[in-house]
Amino acid sequence: MLDAEAALARALESAGQVPAGAGAAVTAAARAGEFDAGEIGRQAALTGNPVPALVRALTARVDPAARAAVHAGATSQDIIDTAMMLLARRALGTIEADLAAAAGAAADLAREHAGTVMAGRTLLQQAVPVTFGLTAAGWLTALDEARERLAEVRTVRLASQFGGAAGTLASLGEAGPAVAAAFAAELGLARPVLPWHTDRLRLVELAAALAGACAATGKVARDVTLLAQSEVAEVAEGDAGGQAGGSSAMPHKRNPVAAVLILGSTRRAPHLLASLAAAAEHEYQRAAGAWHAEWEPLADLLRVTGSAAAWTAKLLAGLRVDPFRMRANLDAARGLPMAEHVTAVLAPALGRLDAHDLIARASRVAAGSGRPLGDVLLDTPEFAEPIATAGITPDQVRQALEPAAYLGAASAFVTAALRAHDERDSRREPGPE
């Protein structure tokens, strides 16, 4: 808020509305550490927001000759909305940097494990083979798209707010537009077409972009918690020298702490987004209550997104992958994840539906008996005879049951994700300090 007040004073001076030197005098007085935040908060209860008390305290610290530059033409909402934009810009710079680090770590995992075969899982059940590289590439793409959207909001949609009492800047007369332009320039924020006191799309878009980043980081964390389960054990978090993941009750535990903390943050994002969307309907020229309802949810959403992004960067940088366990879990399904591939091999000879029905029956027998699907197909006359009649050899059946032979476009998709990541990084401008 003090940054906004100082920028306004400088803008007023540049537009010739206050004496020379007034902008510098207000800026010199606007040092946050010299103000009693507690007292300003107590006074806010009397006025519905902290700006009137802040303005009084700031004015008292400015030389009388420069006091005309404090808050001239502004209303409380101008200062708080602008302060929210400044806070968002500061936070987004940090969030984007952490998402970039997380994306870089995901890219390294995708590159290293492009050929690491693992079970693909749908509805929490083994489906068809995939690669861990493809899983990491999915994380990578979502993280990159989330930070790209945040960067767009930061550079285009974070705007100054300056409209005065009812959005007309009437108290500044004809100088109003010039002061508004100078105000935006002083802050380095976008200049809006007109004051947006009751047009809250900027905040909704910001909130949606933050919630999107939480969705991307939450996906990573949820996958890690599932893959790190004792019965799955395909990945594990870095253990920070054996200190991370401990339990107060169970000495043997190595909990996926970073993933848990990410989810603890991201689970809050949808509700915070909903609060901001619900508060976006503002009546007439200034809202009664809806504007006030935005402050805490936005601050919280910036905070939880920042936390999730930071923990995701740490999680992915230290993630340990166990390719042998991945293959063992896939093999433990006794060939059932390859049923689709065997069906495709039989379909030209038997017809698609007949091949599907034959493999479905064989899969039920394999699941019920605990025998490998290949043994059921080749050793059970009900299935072996139609397969042989169709001219399909046992070697062809065995080849169709090899997971590495049924990865489709996984490798191409990993390559495409890595290429897109590299291209994004090459054209991105660094975020603000």
* Residues carrying an active site annotation: 247, 286
- Beta bridge partners, 283, equal none
Residue 23: CB atoms within 10 A of its CB come to 23
Q: Strands 117-122 and 235-236, how do they pair? A: unpaired
CA distance 221 to 203: 27
Nearest to 147 by CA among 32, 16, 306: 306
Q: Strands 125-131 and 117-122, how do they pair? A: antiparallel
The tokens describing 69, both together, are 């530059």
CA distance 151 to 12: 30
Characterise 221 by phi-psi region: left (phi > 0), alpha (psi -120 to 50), beta (else): alpha
Q: Is 169 helix (H, G, I), strand (E, B) or coil?
A: coil
DSSP 286: S
Report the C-alpha dihedral over residues 23, 29, 30, 34, rounded to 10 degrees.
Answer: 180
The tokens describing 123, both together, are 């509805």
CA distance 273 to 278: 9
The identity of residue 171, as a single letter, is S
